[in-house]
Amino acid sequence: MGQEFVLLISASIFCVGAAGFIIRRNPLIMFMSVELMLNSVNFLLITYSSFLNSLDGQIFALFIMTVAAAEVVVGLAIILTIFRTRHDLDVDHIDMLKG
Partner 1 sequence: MLEIATVFDFTHDMVILVVGLTAVLASLGVVLCSSPIYCALYLIGHMICLALLFLLYNAEFLAVVQIIVYAGAVMILFLFIIALLGGKKEVQENSLHRSMALAFVFTLLGELYLSATVGPTQQVHGEIPPELFGTAKAIGLELFSKHLVAFELASALLLVAAVGVICLAKFSFAPLRRRVR
Per CB under 8 A, contacts with partner 1 among 61-90 are 61-63, 65-74, 76-81, 83-85, 89-90
Q: At what angle do helices 56-86 and 27-52 cross, to 10 degrees?
A: 180
User: Does the protein bind partner 1 through residue 1 (CB under 8 A)?
Assistant: yes
CA 15 to chain centre: 11
CB of 18 to partner 1, least distance (A): 6
CB of 63 to partner 1, least distance (A): 6
CA distance 97 to 99: 6
User: Does the protein bind partner 1 through residue 19 (CB under 8 A)?
Assistant: yes
